[in-house]
């Protein structure tokens, strides 16, 4: 682990502004620069892969998200990012201002998101160094002005989004550096005139779109013409009344002009402007006489969007006459005109047209569409859109005139209750039919007859309860059938019979409880089947048998599946779905799947994605994922209440797994037995578990790991977690927010900074060194005691002697002249010969039988005798040498001799004693002393 070092090992440096700025942010809003530098340098140098406030995208390297981190300035996020970051998203923070060169560390940045902050001020030079930046999002902030110098060095910027800021002023030179700008959105601001904006953008030779909707614009001018490149100008939702003030050429290059929802009431307002280039003009929501406008201006009727002009029925006729021309009209848009009714041939006076849009009116019925048109038009109409009206009923159109080219019909957002038989007989070429978001309770069995070319049918969000096989019988080209969010509770056998090209069937959000064995019959090409949010109680292999050769996606989430036994009574439900690659089983209601029976996923040999989250799994059998050798993504998140530790070997066959989500599953530990075989695992999410440590030996078995999330685990500050600190300095695995892992539940102690020195001491050695001597001592003491009791005792006395003597250094007066040491066997010679002889010479002798104090210990007496006598006379014989007392006396005397370096020992050899015998005595060598 960690042999690869990450490429951006560079010391952390904070941006220094190239020149002192005169206009700094106000002090209350940003900490002064010096302080920032200081805190920056106080933080430990980080060369890590794992960022304080950002997460690198797992799929797109060098894309960073640092959202919702309560950041007050970009510095804490930017400071530890690699210099080759290409995208940075700092949305949803609490920044109030940007310092100069705030992003200079990231010169490769192409996308910068700063939306949803509290930015009030951008310092001049805030984006210094971002020479290749392409997209800058400053939307939803508190900016009131775009000042000069702010966008310096953004020569490559192509999109600048400043919408939804309380913007009042744009400095005339603020946008000058943006020579590559194509899109500028200033929507939702407080700007009051187009003129100043025009002045600011006049030099932008690439600008194509300028969005100024929802400002407070009341006038256009005064201002220079907009750049020739500007094609689209959006001025909707302002308060423009007069279009006065601007120069006539101001809009002369604009092609698409949106003036909807303004307050323009006088058609003459347009005459001051050169609008000859306009190809699409929106005027919805203005109290304007549009016919007068067409009469007096050079706007061509076909370039006008007639939506929202409250034309009424007569108006419609006039419009059609105005639109006449030699060529077919591409699109007639009549939205929001309050149309309540269309009589037969109402649109006959219109030119031949391809698309008709009647949305957002109050039509209660349109009948069979061909009835509205004239003979010439029948041939051309291709697209019919009648959304957001009050349609209640689609009549039977068996007899109606055919529109041979009509291929798209949308009747979305109406109130359609019934569809008559052959309701679309007028459109035999129909390919796309949208009937969604209506009130259909019941679909006539013959309603869709004859639509042999239909490929897409949307019936979702209606109230259908029953489906009949005959309804779909003619739809032999259908590829997508959407029946989501209806009230279907039963699928009868063969209901989809004949849909031989159907690839996608969406039955989500219905009331299905049970699927009959033949309900999916007749769908030989079905690839995607959505059965989510129903009430299915069980699934069985027989249901899927008709589609087993083709089915790739099966969505069963949020049904009522539940297993209470570990053993299946029937064959595994997905047994023969050998093409399935995506299976969703998450969030079964109301209490989750609870169990995964043994071999539940048997046969899913092609499965790549499996989602089992939110299922309160109580147990996972070790064999359950056995067949899933191709699995790449497995999600078991939020299965708490159930799993504690995963069984050994549960992932053993998942050699291709790349993404494993185990968030909040109650894991206590990671073991090699469970995680040992995941050699391709890249992303491991382990947040909100009970893990106290991330086992290092497990990590070493995950050679492909790139992303590890351990947020909200009670990781402990113990030596088991030193890996984090090691990884931070040298690792290929991104650890999510590694500086926010606290020590268990302590809130101010962090794992990345706890003192690990103790972990690297060899504690064993220290303990050994500490205890071994004690043990040895305990072993030796009894032996020593047993063997050398006397010796010790003797040395003890020697010591006492020495001590005594040391304290009485001064020449003292002796009690005796000599202490006679002898063995009792030689007593007769001593008493009869030696003592009388010496005492006659007026020596005072100390004899043990005469002068030792009775009651005192014999040893004390000997010591006193030796030290109170000037000399010690030893009467040496063989017996003497054998006696321990005598030896002791000699020893004491000889010690005194050695110590005082005075001649105090007198040896009297009574008989010839061999050298060997002399040395056996306790005292060692005493031979050859003077006599
Ligand atoms: C930043 O992230 C937010 C939230 O996920 C997203 O809505 C926004 O589009 C992102 N902005 C950019 C510039 O990528
Ligand atoms: C413009 O105003 C209309 C009507 O008030 C509103 O429905 C629409 O959402 C507004 N559009 C914008 C871009 O604000
Ligand atoms: C599944 O396939 C096997 C052979 O591949 C076959 O014997 C079995 O009947 C099939 N099961 C179903 C339910 O079709
Ligand atoms: C790490 O896992 C190995 C093998 O499963 C185990 O022997 C070891 O005790 C674990 N270490 C810790 C600190 O849990
Ligand atoms: C997370 O870490 C960052 C950087 O160390 C710090 O500023 C922030 O306050 C931390 N947040 C929490 C919730 O601990």
Domains, the chain, ranges and CATH? 789-919 (3.40.50.10140)
The answer, yes or no, to whether any atom of ligand 5 lies below 6 A from the CB of 407, is: no
By DSSP bridging, strand 169-170 and strand 480-482 are: unpaired
The answer, yes or no, to whether any atom of ligand 1 lies below 6 A from the CB of 91, is: yes
Is residue 96 within 8 A of residue 118, CB to CB? The reply is yes
pLDDT band at 642, cuts 50/70/90? low
Closest-CA residue, ligand 5 atom 1, reads 740
pLDDT for 8 beyond 50? no
Q: 381-395 burial, b if ≥16 CB within 10 A, otherwise e?
A: bebbbbbbbebeebb
pLDDT band at 685, cuts 50/70/90? very high
Report the pLDDT value the prediction gives residue 808, as an integer from 0 to 100: 63
Categorise residue 614: left if φ over 0, alpha if ψ from -120 to 50, beta otherwise. left
Report the pLDDT value the prediction gives residue 4, as an integer from 0 to 100: 35
Report the pLDDT value the prediction gives residue 7, as an integer from 0 to 100: 37
The answer, yes or no, to whether any atom of ligand 4 lies below 6 A from the CB of 700, is: no
pTM of the model: 0.76
Q: Which ligand does the CA of 234 lie closest to?
A: 2
Percent of the chain with pLDDT over 70: 91
pLDDT in tens, 303-335: 999 998 888 777 888 888 889 888 888 999 999
Per the prediction, the chain carries an average pLDDT of: 86
Report the pLDDT value the prediction gives residue 730, as an integer from 0 to 100: 66
Please tell me the distance between residue 739's alpha carbon and the centre of ligand 5 in angstroms: 7
Beta-bridge mates of residue 633: 609, 659
CA distance 896 to 909: 20
pLDDT in tens, 218-263: 988 788 889 999 999 999 999 998 887 777 888 889 999 999 999 9
The answer, yes or no, to whether any atom of ligand 5 lies below 6 A from the CB of 187, is: no
Q: What share of the chain is helix, strand, coil (3-state, %, to 5)?
A: 20, 15, 65
pLDDT in tens, 837-870: 888 877 888 888 888 888 888 888 888 888 888 8
The answer, yes or no, to whether any atom of ligand 2 lies below 6 A from the CB of 213, is: yes
Other C-beta atoms lying within 10 Å of the C-beta of residue 513: 14
The answer, yes or no, to whether any atom of ligand 2 lies below 6 A from the CB of 261, is: yes
Report the pLDDT value the prediction gives residue 279, as an integer from 0 to 100: 93
Q: What is the longest distance spanned by two Cα atoms in the chain?
A: 174
Closest-CA residue, ligand 3 atom 5, reads 576
Q: State the average pLDDT over residues 501-530.
A: 93
Verify cis geometry, omega within 30 degrees of 0, for the bond prior to 487. no
pLDDT for 72 beyond 80? yes
pLDDT in tens, 168-193: 999 999 999 999 999 999 999 999 98
pLDDT for 28 beyond 50? no
From the CA of 187, give the closest atom in ligand 2: 13
pLDDT in tens, 264-309: 998 888 888 888 889 999 999 999 888 899 988 888 999 999 998 8
Measure the N-to-C terminal CA separation of the chain; round to a whole number of Å.
Answer: 84
Q: State the average pLDDT over residues 340-360.
A: 91
**Surface-to-core class of residue 184, CB atoms within 10 Å of its CB (0-12 exposed, 13-18 middle, 19+ buried):** buried
The answer, yes or no, to whether any atom of ligand 2 lies below 6 A from the CB of 259, is: no
Please tell me the distance between residue 317's alpha carbon and the centre of ligand 2 in angstroms: 28
Report the pLDDT value the prediction gives residue 762, as an integer from 0 to 100: 66
Please tell me the distance between residue 864's alpha carbon and the centre of ligand 5 in angstroms: 81
From the CA of 696, give the closest atom in ligand 4: 1
Least confident of 131-135, 323-327, 346-350, 718-722: 718-722
Q: Which ligand does the CA of 42 lie closest to?
A: 5
pLDDT in tens, 416-459: 999 999 999 999 999 999 999 999 998 898 999 889 999 999 99
pLDDT for 832 beyond 50? yes
The answer, yes or no, to whether any atom of ligand 4 lies below 6 A from the CB of 693, is: yes
CA distance 785 to 769: 25
The answer, yes or no, to whether any atom of ligand 5 lies below 6 A from the CB of 739, is: yes
The answer, yes or no, to whether any atom of ligand 5 lies below 6 A from the CB of 303, is: no
Is residue 393 within 8 A of residue 421, CB to CB? The reply is no
pLDDT band at 900, cuts 50/70/90? confident
pLDDT for 756 beyond 70? yes
pLDDT in tens, 877-897: 888 888 887 778 888 887 777
The answer, yes or no, to whether any atom of ligand 1 lies below 6 A from the CB of 159, is: no
Q: Which ligand does the CA of 214 lie closest to?
A: 2
Query: Cα-flanking dihedrals φ and ψ of residue 818, to 5°?
Result: -155, 145
Categorise residue 724: left if φ over 0, alpha if ψ from -120 to 50, beta otherwise. alpha
pLDDT for 376 beyond 80? yes
Please tell me the distance between residue 669's alpha carbon and the centre of ligand 4 in angstroms: 9
pLDDT band at 699, cuts 50/70/90? confident
Beta-bridge mates of residue 209: 183, 232
From the CA of 112, give the closest atom in ligand 1: 13
Percent of the chain with pLDDT over 90: 48
pLDDT for 27 beyond 50? no
pLDDT for 13 beyond 60? no
Closest-CA residue, ligand 3 atom 9, reads 576
Instruction: Name the residue with higher pLDDT: 412 or 798.
Output: 412
Report CA-CA distances (Å) from 11 to 33, 41, 684, 703, 729: 19, 10, 29, 27, 11
The residues near 912 (Cβ < 8 Å, ≥ 6 apart) are: none
Report the pLDDT value the prediction gives residue 918, as an integer from 0 to 100: 66
**Surface-to-core class of residue 303, CB atoms within 10 Å of its CB (0-12 exposed, 13-18 middle, 19+ buried):** middle
Please tell me the distance between residue 226's alpha carbon and the centre of ligand 2 in angstroms: 25
Report the pLDDT value the prediction gives residue 683, as an integer from 0 to 100: 94
Q: Which ligand does the CA of 89 lie closest to?
A: 1
From the CA of 676, give the closest atom in ligand 4: 5
Report the pLDDT value the prediction gives residue 45, as an integer from 0 to 100: 33
Q: Which ligand does the CA of 336 lie closest to?
A: 2
Q: State the average pLDDT over residues 645-656.
A: 90
Closest-CA residue, ligand 1 atom 11, reads 113
Report the pLDDT value the prediction gives residue 815, as an integer from 0 to 100: 83
Beta-bridge mates of residue 159: 135, 183
pLDDT band at 22, cuts 50/70/90? very low
Instruction: Name the residue with higher pLDDT: 851 or 28.
Output: 851
Please tell me the distance between residue 539's alpha carbon and the centre of ligand 3 in angstroms: 16
pLDDT for 580 beyond 80? yes
Report the pLDDT value the prediction gives residue 922, as an integer from 0 to 100: 41
pLDDT in tens, 97-122: 999 999 999 999 999 999 999 999 99
pLDDT band at 9, cuts 50/70/90? very low
| CA 269 from centre of chain | 56
Out of 575, 578, 579, 602, give the residue to mutate to test ligand 3, the one with the largest number of ligand atoms within 8 Å of its CB: 575
Which SS3 state, helix, strand or coil, does residue 889 take? helix
The answer, yes or no, to whether any atom of ligand 1 lies below 6 A from the CB of 110, is: no
Q: Which ligand does the CA of 747 lie closest to?
A: 5
Closest-CA residue, ligand 4 atom 11, reads 695
Verify cis geometry, omega within 30 degrees of 0, for the bond prior to 167. no
């Amino acid at each position: 682990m960690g042999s690869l070092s990450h490429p951006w090992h560079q010391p952390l440096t904070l941006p220094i502004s190239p020149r002192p700025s005169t206009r700094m942010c106000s002090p209350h809003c940003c900490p002064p620069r010096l302080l920032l530098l200081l805190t920056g340098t106080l933080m430990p140098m980080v060369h890590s892969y794992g960022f304080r406030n950002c997460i690198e995208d797992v799929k797109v390297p060098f894309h960073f998200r640092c959202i919702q981190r309560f950041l007050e300035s970009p510095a804490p996020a930017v400071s530890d990012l690699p210099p080759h970051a290409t995208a940075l998203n700092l949305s949803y923070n609490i920044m109030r201002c940007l310092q100069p060169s705030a992003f200079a560390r990231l010169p490769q940045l192409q996308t910068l998101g700063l939306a949803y902050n509290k930015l009030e001020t951008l310092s001049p030079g805030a984006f210094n160094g971002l020479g290749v930046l392409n997209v800058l999002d400053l939307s939803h902030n508190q900016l009131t002005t775009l000042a000069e110098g702010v966008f310096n060095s953004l020569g490559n910027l192509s999109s600048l989004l400043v919408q939804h800021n309380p913007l009042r002023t744009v400095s005339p030179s603020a946008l000058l550096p943006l020579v590559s700008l194509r899109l500028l959105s200033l929507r939702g601001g407080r700007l009051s005139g187009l003129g100043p904006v025009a002045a600011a953008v006049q030099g932008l030779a690439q600008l194509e779109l300028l969005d100024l909707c929802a400002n407070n614009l009341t006038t256009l001018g005064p201002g220079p013409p907009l750049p020739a490149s500007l094609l689209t100008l959006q001025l909707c939702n302002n308060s423009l009344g007069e279009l006065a003030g601007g120069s006539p050429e101001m809009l002369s290059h604009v092609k698409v002009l949106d003036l909807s929802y303004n307050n323009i009431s006088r058609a003459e307002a347009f005459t001051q402007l050169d609008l000859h280039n306009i190809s699409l003009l929106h005027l919805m929501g203005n109290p304007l006489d549009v016919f007068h406008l067409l009469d007096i201006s050079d706007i061509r009727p076909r370039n006008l969007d007639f939506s929202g002009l409250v034309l009424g029925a007569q108006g419609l006729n006039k419009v059609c006459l105005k639109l006449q021309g030699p060529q077919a009209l591409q699109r007639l848009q009549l939205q929001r005109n309050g149309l309540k009714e269309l009589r037969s041939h109402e649109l006959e006076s219109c030119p031949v047209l391809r698309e008709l849009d009647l949305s957002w009116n109050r039509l209660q019925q349109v009948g069979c569409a061909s009835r509205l048109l004239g003979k010439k038009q029948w041939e051309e109409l291709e697209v019919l859109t009648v959304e957001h009206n009050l349609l209640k009923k689609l009549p039977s159109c068996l007899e109606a005139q055919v529109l041979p080219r009509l291929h798209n019909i949308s009747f979305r957002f109406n109130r359609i209750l019934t569809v008559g038989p052959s309701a679309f007989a007028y459109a035999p070429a129909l390919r796309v039919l949208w009937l969604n978001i209506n009130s259909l309770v019941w679909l006539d069995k013959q309603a869709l007859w004859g639509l042999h070319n239909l490929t897409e049918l949307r019936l979702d969000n209606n109230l259908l309860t029953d489906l009949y096989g005959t309804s779909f019988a003619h739809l032999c080209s259908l590829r997508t059938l959407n029946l989501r969010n209806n009230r279907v509770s039963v699928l009868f056998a063969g209901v989809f019979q004949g849909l031989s090209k159907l690839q996608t069937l969406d039955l989500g959000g219905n009331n299905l409880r049970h699927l009959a064995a033949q309900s999916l019959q007749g769908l030989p090409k079905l690839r995607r089947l959505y059965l989510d949010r129903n009430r299915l109680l069980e699934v069985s292999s027989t249901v899927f048998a008709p589609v087993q050769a083709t089915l790739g996606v099966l969505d069963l989430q949020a049904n009522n599946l539940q297993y209470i036994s570990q053993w299946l009574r029937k064959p595994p439900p997905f047994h023969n779905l050998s093409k399935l690659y995506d299976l969703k089983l998450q969030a079964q209601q109301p209490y989750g799947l609870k169990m995964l029976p043994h071999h539940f996923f048997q046969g899913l040999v092609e499965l790549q994605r499996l989602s089992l989250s939110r299922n309160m799994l109580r147990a996972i059998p070790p064999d359950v994922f056995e067949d899933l050798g191709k699995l790449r993504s497995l999600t078991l998140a939020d299965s708490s209440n159930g799993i504690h530790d995963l069984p050994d070997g549960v992932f053993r066959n998942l050699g291709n797994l790349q993404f494993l989500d185990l968030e909040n599953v109650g894991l206590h530990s990671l073991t090699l037995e469970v995680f040992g075989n995941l050699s391709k695992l890249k992303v491991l999410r382990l947040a909100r578990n009970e893990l106290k440590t991330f086992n290092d030996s497990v990590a070493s078995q995950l050679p492909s790991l790139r992303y590890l999330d351990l947020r909200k685990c009670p990781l402990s500050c113990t030596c088991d977690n030193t890996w984090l600190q090691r990884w931070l300095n040298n690792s290929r695995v991104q650890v999510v927010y590694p500086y926010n892992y606290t020590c268990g539940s302590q809130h101010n102690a962090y794992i990345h900074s706890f003192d690990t020195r103790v972990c690297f001491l060899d504690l064993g050695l220290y303990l050994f060194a500490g205890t071994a001597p004690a043990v040895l001592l305990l072993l030796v003491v009894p032996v020593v005691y047993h063997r050398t009791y006397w010796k010790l005792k003797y040395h003890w006395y020697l010591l006492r002697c020495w001590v005594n003597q040391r304290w009485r250094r001064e020449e003292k007066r002796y009690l005796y002249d000599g202490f006679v040491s002898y063995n009792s066997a030689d007593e007769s010679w001593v008493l009869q010969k030696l003592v009388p002889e010496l005492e006659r010479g007026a020596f005072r002798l100390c004899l043990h039988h005469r002068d030792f104090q009775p009651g005192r210990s014999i040893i004390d007496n000997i010591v006193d005798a030796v030290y109170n006598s000037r000399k010690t006379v030893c009467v040496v014989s063989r017996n003497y040498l054998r006696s321990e007392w005598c030896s002791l006396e000699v020893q004491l005397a000889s010690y005194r001799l050695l110590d005082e370096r005075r001649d105090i020992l007198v040896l009297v050899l009574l008989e010839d004693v061999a050298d060997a015998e002399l040395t056996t005595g306790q005292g060692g060598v005493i031979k050859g002393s003077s006599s």
